[in-house]
Chain A
Amino acid sequence: MDVVDLFLTVGFWAATVRMATPLIFGTLGELICERAGVLNLGIEGIMTIGAMSAWMWVYQGGDLWTATLFAAMVGASFGLLHAGFSVYMGLSQHVTGIGITLLASSLSYFVFRIMLPGVTTPPKIEPFAPLPIPLLADIPVLGPALFIQSPLTYIALSLVGVVAYILYRTPVGLAVRMVGENPMAVEAQGIDVFAVRTGAVAVGSALMAVGGAFLTISVFDAFYFQMINGRGWICVALVIFASWRPGKALLGAFLFAAFDALQIRVQQASSSLIPYQFYLMMPYLLSIVALIVMSRRAAYPKALLVPFRRGER
Chain B
Amino acid sequence: MRLEPREETPVWLSASAPLAAIVLALTLCSALIVWAGAPVIDAYLSLASGALGSRFALSETLTRATPLIFTGLAAAVAFRAKLWNIGGEGQLYAGAMAVTWLGTGALTMPPVLMIPFLFLIGAIAGGLLLLVPTALKIYLKVDEVVTTLLLNFVVLLFVNFMLFGPWKDPLAMGWPQAAPVIDEGVLPLLVEKTRLHAGFILALLAALLAWALMRFTRWGYEIRAVGLNPQAAEFAGVPMTATVVRTALISGGLAGAAGVCEVAGLKGYLTLDLSPGFGYTGIAVAMLAGLHPLGVIAAAIFIAGIYNGADSMSRAMDISNYLADVITATALLAVLASALFTRYRLRAG
Interface residues in chain A, defined as those with a beta carbon under 8 Å from any beta carbon in chain B? 41, 81, 85, 89, 91-92, 94-96, 98-100, 102-103, 105-107, 109-110, 113-114, 117, 229-230, 233-234, 236-237, 240, 275, 277-278, 280-281, 284-285, 287-288, 291-292, 295-296, 298
Contacts and interface: CB of A to CB of B under 8 A. Distances in A.
Contact of A275 (B136, B150, B161): B161
Secondary structure dominating the interface of A: helix
Interface string B228-250: 00000000000000000000000
A296 B141 contact: yes
A84 to B, nearest CB: 9
Given A41-B145, A240-B143, A89 B330 contact: no
A280 B147 CA distance: 16
16 contacts: A85-B336, A89-B340, A92-B336, A98-B86, A98-B280, A102-B325, A103-B326, A106-B325, A106-B328, A110-B320, A114-B32, A230-B150, A230-B153, A240-B146, A284-B153, A292-B140
B140 A296 contact: yes
Nearest to A96: B336
B175 interface: no
A288 B147 contact: yes
Interface of B: 32, 35-36, 79, 84, 86, 136, 140-143, 145-147, 149-151, 153-154, 157-158, 160-161, 164-165, 280, 283-284, 287, 318-320, 322-323, 325-326, 328-330, 332-333, 336-337, 339-340
A285 B157 CA distance: 12
B328 to A, nearest CB: 7
Contacts of A94: 84, 145
Nearest to B163: A277
Given A99-B332, A109-B320, A110-B326, A295 B151 contact: no
Given A281-B153, A288-B147, A102 B322 contact: no
B47 to A, nearest CB: 14
A229 B152 CA distance: 11
Contacts of A236: 145-146
Contact of B140 (A85, A103, A107, A295): A295
Contacts of B141: 295-296, 298
A281 B340 CA distance: 41
Contacts of B143: 240, 291, 295
A95 B322 contact: no
Contacts of B329: 99, 102-103, 106-107
A113 B320 contact: yes
A72 B340 CA distance: 30
A242 to B, nearest CB: 13
Contacts of B283: 95, 98
A96 B337 CA distance: 9
